[in-house]
Amino acid sequence: MNPDTPPPSGPIGFVGLGMMGAPIAERLAAAGVPLVVHNRTRAKADALVARGAVWAETPRAVGRAAAGHLVFTMLTDARAVRATLFGRSGVAAGAARGTLVVDLSTIGPDESRANAARLRPRGLRYVDAPVGGSVDAAAAGELLVYAGGEEEDIDRARPYLEKFSRRTERLGGVGSGTAMKLVNNLVTIAGLAVATEALALAERLGLAKERVVELLLAGGAQSRMLEAKRDGLLRREYPSRFKLVLAAKDLGLVERAARDAGAGRRLAREARRLAEEGLRAGHGDDDFSAMFEAALARGRPSPASRPESPTTPSPAGEPGT
Ligand SMILES: NC(=O)c1ccc[n+]([C@@H]2O[C@H](COP(=O)([O-])OP(=O)(O)OC[C@H]3O[C@@H](n4cnc5c(N)ncnc54)[C@H](OP(=O)(O)O)[C@@H]3O)[C@@H](O)[C@H]2O)c1
């Protein structure tokens, strides 16, 4: 866009009002940004519509209403993003040339680049802008935005990104934002996976969990993530902020990106296995800290839960089920 051209002044679009999308859109609405919104499940838009956002029946209608301006998407995965952008009733079918799509979802860098390449011939721009931080950070306007795309496109989105983030960092061209997000999530998710296995070990060693967590947080093992998850881990309750099923999805994305880039991926794979054990145990919609349940279920039964009179002892070192 020519820098002398004033930015469009109509509403901006927002598709995807889940756990993250809703508080982000609320921040924009609270800052006075006129919004046209859509979500697959309409009820999740009620609160925003009550405060003045306009409901659109389809993503295509969102694209049309945004009229060359900007459309945010915040969706589960790349499949949902593709359906929303390129489906028959998708954003691309309704959007005027010059519209900027800003995808906040966590997807693969290759998937971000493919979306941009499909939009380009239609005269539509694209920025990948996944976020660091969870639901509370979104509501407080404290997210980190990892942005990939042309500088002028990111600058165009910046006044809106600033309404819900404390920092927007451009990493490079399209796909570099989602690349950074995967690097970040390997540390945050696999890091918590290690912590849950450590707590499961502590329990087998007969240590009191409360003291273990307190001492971990007092020393070199201190982590903001462990601190944030402390109460839930101690109570073994996992009210969802970031669903385990999404953490497993992200670790799969990390593995694929690492494979394609020729980087190591063993720790991502191990963490994904733990997450998937949690999924199989029915924790998919729980917070990803429910990996602790999977960690507790691993290994041999603890001495306390072994039968009183053992039958044939297991061969030394044989892993249990
Ligand atoms: N939660 C976090 O802490 C967090 C933090 C950073 C990044 N993220 C990332 O942000 C994204 C959203 O996460 P979230 O926690 O908000 O998840 P969520 O609560 O499950 O929301 C997912 C959203 O995607 C929509 N959706 C899913 N499949 C769809 C499809 N096929 N077509 C159209 N819409 C579809 C859902 O619609 P319905 O309402 O109809 O289901 C909902 O609006 C994910 O990529 C996640 O990895 C999450």
Task: For 253-303, give the DSSP string.
Answer: HHHHHHHHHT---HHHHHHHHHHHHHHHTT-TTSBGGGHHHHHHHSSSPPG
Q: List all residues 6 or more positions away from 27 whose beta carbon is below 8 Å from its beta carbon.
A: 138, 139, 141, 163, 164
> What is the model's pLDDT at position 300?
65
Which is the closest atom of ligand 1 to the Cα of 107?
45
Nearest Cα neighbor of 174 from 149, 155, 191 is 149
Which is the closest atom of ligand 1 to the Cα of 59?
33
The hierarchical CATH code for the domain 180-299 is 1.10.1040.10
R_g (Cα) of the chain, nearest Å: 22
Domain ranges of the chain: 12-173, 180-299
**CA trace torsion 148, 149, 155, 156 (10° rounding):** -120
Alpha carbon distance 298, 291 (integer Å): 11
Which is the closest atom of ligand 1 to the Cα of 134?
3
Q: Is 246 in the pocket of ligand 1 (CB under 6 A)?
A: yes
> What is the model's pLDDT at position 8?
60
Q: Is 284 in the pocket of ligand 1 (CB under 6 A)?
A: no
Q: How many CA atoms lie within 13 A of 42 on its CB side?
A: 6
Distance 255 CA to ligand 1 centre (A): 21
- Both ends of the chain: CA-CA distance in Å? 60
> What is the model's pLDDT at position 112?
98
Q: Is 146 in the pocket of ligand 1 (CB under 6 A)?
A: no
* Six-digit token string for 57: 């029946």
**CA trace torsion 218, 223, 226, 230 (10° rounding):** 40
Distance of CA 260 to the CA centre of its chain: 21
* Ordered per-residue pLDDT tens for the chain, 321 residues: 444 454 566 899 999 999 999 999 999 999 999 999 999 999 999 999 999 999 999 999 999 999 989 999 999 999 999 999 999 999 999 999 999 999 999 999 999 999 999 999 999 999 999 999 999 999 999 999 999 999 999 999 999 999 999 999 999 999 999 999 999 999 999 999 999 999 999 999 999 999 999 999 999 999 999 999 999 999 999 999 999 999 999 999 999 999 999 999 999 999 999 999 999 999 999 999 999 999 999 986 655 544 443 333 333 333 332
Nearest Cα neighbor of 81 from 95, 54, 55, 102 is 102
Distance 242 CA to ligand 1 centre (A): 10
Q: Say yes or no: do domains 12-173 and 180-299 share a fold.
A: no
- Span 12-173 CATH architecture: 3-Layer(aba) Sandwich (3.40)
Q: Is 43 in the pocket of ligand 1 (CB under 6 A)?
A: no
| pTM of the predicted structure, to 2 decimals | 0.93
**E strands present in the chain:** 12-15, 35-38, 54-55, 70-73, 100-103, 125-128, 131-132, 143-148, 165-172
- Give the dihedral sign, CA 131/161/108/91: positive
Nearest CA to ligand 1 atom 32: 80
Q: Is 118 in the pocket of ligand 1 (CB under 6 A)?
A: no
Identify the residue whose tokens are 């996944």: 130
- Measured CA distances, 185 to 30, 79, 225 (Å): 29, 20, 11
Distance 287 CA to ligand 1 centre (A): 14
Distance 195 CA to ligand 1 centre (A): 26
* Crossing angle for the helix pair 109-119 and 78-86, to the nearest 10 degrees: 10
> What is the model's pLDDT at position 299?
81
Q: Is 213 in the pocket of ligand 1 (CB under 6 A)?
A: no
Distance 266 CA to ligand 1 centre (A): 27
